[in-house]
């Protein structure tokens, strides 16, 4: 529908877009500005769009009420390990399913694909039991191993396979004529070419791990092992009521790393997303 | 493939009779590489997906008391309990409402935004970023902020008040809690579907519209007769992703409503969590997991069957 529009149509469209943007933008704006206000001002009416005298003491209290620094590091390192691990597992498997012929390939691919059909929520009870028997409850192992090797990485493997299928075969053929083995061909030829798909996988995986909530609250019980989503809901006063300014400060800090990742990799993210969508 | 095989490694060149031929031909090496490459994912799938699925079936046939340390085979008792569970109807209803509401609102809004952003306008990239931005805000953070905005004296009612409307207590009302949870979730993730739709729209050839224009077809008619059929594969993909995702919703419910008021927002995964991990009814939790699996499976099969009917393939 790429046709030129009249001036009036354009104005109407801008108006519609601006109104539609409010519920997308306002909550984030409100989160950040509220974190800088005293509690009384958060509930002020009419609402203050900007804090009258911004202050940072809510940010300080975040760290006093909980081992928030530790929790932050927990989330960061879990997300990073899971992202790198998933990229490795998915790239290898995706490449093999796309480019190598071996016996039983189709059956094995179906076994792996089952992970797409079986959400991790279905298997949370037995997974809990497995890790309980191994003595790994209240450790980070379940939050690392299951996403890297289990159901969440299957989508990544699928995305990588679709990408490798679309790669022209000549480059690889040439590499193999030159005597490169399979792994070298994968590592030196195919993998560097798959950067868009890898980028999309990386960002998806990071986001998924960063947002994980059910698994942490099932597996973790010590506050110093908590991840951020779990920690965010713990800022309550003696009566169980939320401490809004502190929650908003903590929530704002949670958004930061993802924002940084997104700003750096936005192009790749959107392209990768569009790419995988078209392939589907 | 075979051509390269015969060139790589001297052993593969020619028929090479006799015992001199090494066992590791390049063909065999290739096979081995294939198995090694998929091993981590395959073993992971077996240990963390297939095995737990079998175990969950097995557990659902047991009464499992964690505190007493008992694990007794009870046959289909859990399934009978399921049929008699007074909450099950409400839970399935809440799950269904959430899924339907989410899919309709999410796909509708995503398509609307994509069509708007596909117009010849300046600044569409800015708007695209704005609509996409909640995707990068952490889920629980986003949910907490909305929980705050939807309070009785929160920002949404404050806004309504300025136009003279007395808003309800959104998260505490039987009728409004579910709507609120759906809306919060839609604004969080609609950007993903929007981007997928935008990519699909950009793949629709402009000549088709030009031809339709010449024929005097209205914009609406062009949308339904050209746009929708041509992007139907993407509509199928996004609807599968959205439906399956909607069945997995948990954090939003746990943070916003804890399943309430009453059981009006107790969706299946939240109920499963309550039964297994709050009340320690692991056997019953496993039974609910089977219900969840059956629903996901049925929906996926259904959507797959339906694709023949409404997905248009350009060929």
* Closest residue to A119, CB basis, from B195, B285, B296: B296
Residues B181-202, mean pLDDT to the nearest whole number: 92
Instruction: List the one residue out of A60, A246, A215 whose CA is nearest residue B141.
Output: A246
Chain B residues touching A111 at Cβ < 8 A: 42, 45-46, 50
- Per-residue HEC secondary structure of B171-237 comes to HHCCCCHHHHHHHHHHHHHHHHHHHHHHHHHHCCCHHHHHHHHHCCCCHHHHHHHHHHHHCHHHHHH
Nearest CA in chain B to A157: B41
The ipTM value here is 0.89
* Closest residue to A213, CB basis, from B41, B42, B140: B140
How far is residue B135's CA from residue A125's CA, in Å, rounded to a whole number?
29
B11: pLDDT strictly greater than 70: no
CB contact under 8 A, B29 and A176: no
How far is residue A163's CA from residue A205's CA, in Å, rounded to a whole number?
17
Higher pLDDT, B138 or A141: A141
- Answer for the pair B215, A90: CB distance below 8 angstroms, yes or no: no
pLDDT value at residue A256: 84
CB contact under 8 A, A125 and B289: yes
> Does B286 reach chain A within 8 Å, measured CB to CB?
yes
- Contacts with B167 (C-beta within 8 Å, 6 or more apart), sequence order: B156, B157, B160, B161
Q: At CA A16, angle to CA B228 and CA B97, rounded to 5?
A: 60
How far is residue A148's CA from residue A131's CA, in Å, rounded to a whole number?
15
pLDDT value at residue B194: 93
Instruction: Measure in Å the smallest separation between the Cα of A199 and chain B Cα atoms.
Output: 15
pLDDT tens sequence across B79-125: 999 999 999 999 999 999 999 999 999 999 999 999 999 988 888 88
pLDDT value at residue B17: 55
| Summary mean pLDDT of chain A | 88
> Does B30 reach chain A within 8 Å, measured CB to CB?
yes
A37: phi then psi, degrees, rounded to nearest 5: -105, 150
CB contact under 8 A, A92 and B196: no
Q: Which residue has tokens 């989503």?
A: A229
Chain A residues touching B145 at Cβ < 8 A: 27-28, 30-31, 248, 251
CB contact under 8 A, A1 and B115: yes
Adjacent-strand bridge partners of B71: B64
CB contact under 8 A, A148 and B44: yes
Instruction: List the one residue out of B240, B218, B255, B209 whose CA is nearest residue B305.
Output: B240
Nearest CA in chain A to B238: A277
* Closest residue to B4, CB basis, from A21, A145, A173: A173
pLDDT value at residue A273: 60
Q: At CA B10, angle to CA B5 and CA B12, rounded to 5?
A: 40
Confidence of residue B5 (pLDDT cuts 50, 70, 90): very low
A140: pLDDT strictly greater than 90: yes
> Does B192 reach chain A within 8 Å, measured CB to CB?
yes
* Closest residue to A103, CB basis, from B31, B146, B276: B31
Residues B208-229, mean pLDDT to the nearest whole number: 88
How far is residue A236's CA from residue A69's CA, in Å, rounded to a whole number?
18
- Contacts with A115 (C-beta within 8 Å, 6 or more apart), sequence order: A150, A151, A153, A154, B45, B49
How far is residue A229's CA from residue A217's CA, in Å, rounded to a whole number?
9
CB contact under 8 A, B203 and A149: no
Q: Which residue has tokens 């409402």?
A: B97
> Does B52 reach chain A within 8 Å, measured CB to CB?
yes
- Contacts with B211 (C-beta within 8 Å, 6 or more apart), sequence order: none
Residues B135-157, mean pLDDT to the nearest whole number: 88
Instruction: List the one residue out of B134, B102, B131 whose CA is nearest residue B118.
Output: B131
Confidence of residue B3 (pLDDT cuts 50, 70, 90): very low
B196: phi then psi, degrees, rounded to nearest 5: -65, -45
pLDDT value at residue A280: 31
B8: pLDDT strictly greater than 80: no
Chain B residues touching A255 at Cβ < 8 A: 136-138, 141
Interface with chain B: mutation pick from A41, A72, A123, highest number of B CBs within 10 Å: A123
Instruction: Measure in Å the smallest separation between the Cα of A39 and chain B Cα atoms.
Output: 12
CB contact under 8 A, B42 and A112: yes
How far is residue A123's CA from residue A121's CA, in Å, rounded to a whole number?
5
> Does B259 reach chain A within 8 Å, measured CB to CB?
no
The least confident of A39-53, A231-245, B64-78 is A39-53
Instruction: Measure in Å the smallest separation between the Cα of A221 and chain B Cα atoms.
Output: 12
* Closest residue to A126, CB basis, from B33, B56, B141: B56
Instruction: Measure in Å the smallest separation between the Cα of B268 and chain A Cα atoms.
Output: 10
pLDDT value at residue A239: 80
Interface with chain A: mutation pick from B12, B28, B32, B45, highest number of A CBs within 10 Å: B45
pLDDT value at residue A262: 73
pLDDT value at residue A279: 36
Structure tokens at B198: 């935008």
Structure tokens at B38: 């998929």
pLDDT tens sequence across B239-272: 888 888 899 999 999 999 999 899 999 999 999 9
B1: pLDDT strictly greater than 80: no
pLDDT value at residue A100: 92
* Closest residue to A100, CB basis, from B30, B248, B293: B30
Residues B153-181, mean pLDDT to the nearest whole number: 87
| Summary mean pLDDT of chain B | 87
pLDDT value at residue B286: 96
CB contact under 8 A, A151 and B286: no
How far is residue A21's CA from residue A28's CA, in Å, rounded to a whole number?
12
CB contact under 8 A, B138 and A251: yes
Q: What is the CA radius of gyration of chain A?
A: 23
pLDDT value at residue B283: 93
CB contact under 8 A, B37 and A95: yes
The least confident of B5-9, B160-164, B278-282 is B5-9
pLDDT tens sequence across B260-304: 899 999 999 999 999 999 999 999 999 999 999 999 999 888 877
Instruction: Measure in Å the smallest separation between the Cα of B190 and chain A Cα atoms.
Output: 10
Instruction: Measure in Å the smallest separation between the Cα of A238 and chain B Cα atoms.
Output: 18
pLDDT tens sequence across A8-42: 888 999 999 999 999 999 999 989 998 998 888 88
pTM of the model: 0.88
Residues B27-45, mean pLDDT to the nearest whole number: 93
CB contact under 8 A, B234 and A278: yes
pLDDT tens sequence across A49-106: 788 888 899 999 999 999 999 999 999 999 999 999 999 999 999 999 999 999 999 9
- Contacts with B121 (C-beta within 8 Å, 6 or more apart), sequence order: A5, A10, A13, A14
| DSSP calls for chain A | ------HHHHHHHHHHHHHHHHHHHHHHHHHHHHTTS-HHHHT-SSPPSS-SS---HHHHHHHHHS-HHHHHHHHHHHHHHHHHHHHHHHHHHHHHHHH---TTHHHHHHHHHHHHHS-TTTTHHHHHHHHHHTT-TTSSHHHHHHHHHSHHHHHHHHHHHHHHHHS-SHHHHHHHHTT--HHHHIIIIIHHHTHHHHHHHHHHHHHHHHH--HHHHHH--SGGG--HHHHHTT-B-TTS-B-HHHHHHHHHHHHHHHHHHHHHHHHHHHHHHHHHHHH-
């Amino acid at each position: 529908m790429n046709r030129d529009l009249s001036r009036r149509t354009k104005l109407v469209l801008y108006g519609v877009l601006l109104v539609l943007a409010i519920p997308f933008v306002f909550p984030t704006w409100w989160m950040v500005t509220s974190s800088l206000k005293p509690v009384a001002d958060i509930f002020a009416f009419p609402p203050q769009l900007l804090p009258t005298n911004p202050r940072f003491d809510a940010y300080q209290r975040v760290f006093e009420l909980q081992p928030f620094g530790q929790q932050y590091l927990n989330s960061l390192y879990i997300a990073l390990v899971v992202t790198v691990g998933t990229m490795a597992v998915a790239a290898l498997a995706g490449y093999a399913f796309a480019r190598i012929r071996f016996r039983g390939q189709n059956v094995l691919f179906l076994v792996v694909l089952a992970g797409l059909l079986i959400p991790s929520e279905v298997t949370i009870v037995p997974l809990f039991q497995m890790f309980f028997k191994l003595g790994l409850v209240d450790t980070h192992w379940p939050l690392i191993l299951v996403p890297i090797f289990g159901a969440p990485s299957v989508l990544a493997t699928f995305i990588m396979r679709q990408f490798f299928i679309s790669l022209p075969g000549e480059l690889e053929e040439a590499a193999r004529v030159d005597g490169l083995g399979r792994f070298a061909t994968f590592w030196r030829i195919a993998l560097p070419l798959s950067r868009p798909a890898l980028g999309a996988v990386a960002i998806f995986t990071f986001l998924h791990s960063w947002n994980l909530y059910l698994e942490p609250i099932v597996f973790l019980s010590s506050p110093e092992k908590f991840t951020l989503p779990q920690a965010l809901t713990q800022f309550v006063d003696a009566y169980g009521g939320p401490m809004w300014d502190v929650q908003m400060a903590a929530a704002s800090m949670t958004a930061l790393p993802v924002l940084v990742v997104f700003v750096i990799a936005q192009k790749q993210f959107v392209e990768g997303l569009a790419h995988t969508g078209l392939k589907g | 493939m075979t051509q390269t095989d015969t060139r790589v490694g001297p052993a593969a060149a020619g028929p090479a009779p006799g015992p001199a031929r090494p066992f590791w031909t390049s063909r065999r090496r290739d096979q081995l590489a294939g198995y090694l490459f998929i091993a981590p994912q395959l073993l992971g799938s077996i240990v963390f997906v297939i095995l737990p699925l079998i175990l969950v079936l097995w557990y659902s046939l047991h009464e499992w008391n964690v505190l007493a340390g008992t694990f007794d085979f009870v046959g289909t008792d859990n399934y009978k309990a399921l049929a008699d569970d007074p909450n099950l109807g409400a839970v399935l209803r809440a799950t269904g409402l959430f899924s339907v509401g989410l899919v309709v609102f999410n796909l509708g809004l995503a398509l609307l935004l994509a069509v708007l952003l596909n117009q010849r306008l300046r600044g569409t990239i800015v708007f695209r970023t704005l609509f996409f931005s909640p995707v990068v805000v952490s889920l629980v953070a986003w949910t907490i902020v909305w929980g705050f905005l939807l309070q009785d004296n929160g920002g949404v009612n404050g806004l309504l008040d300025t136009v003279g409307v007395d808003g309800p207590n959104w998260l505490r009302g039987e009728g409004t809690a579910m709507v609120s949870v759906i809306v919060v979730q839609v604004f969080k993730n609609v950007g993903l579907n929007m981007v997928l739709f935008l990519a699909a729209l950009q793949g629709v050839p402009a000549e088709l519209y030009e031809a339709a224009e010449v024929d005097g077809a209205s914009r609406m008619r062009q949308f339904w007769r050209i746009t929708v059929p041509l992007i139907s594969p993407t509509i199928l993909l996004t609807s599968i992703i959205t439906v399956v995702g909607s069945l997995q919703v948990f954090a939003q419910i746990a943070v916003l409503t804890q399943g309430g008021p009453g059981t009006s927002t107790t969706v299946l995964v939240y109920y499963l969590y309550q039964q297994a991990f709050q009340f320690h009814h692991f056997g019953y939790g496993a039974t609910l997991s089977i219900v969840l699996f059956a629903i996901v499976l049925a929906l996926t099969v259904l959507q797959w069957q339906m694709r023949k009917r409404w997905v248009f393939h350009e060929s």
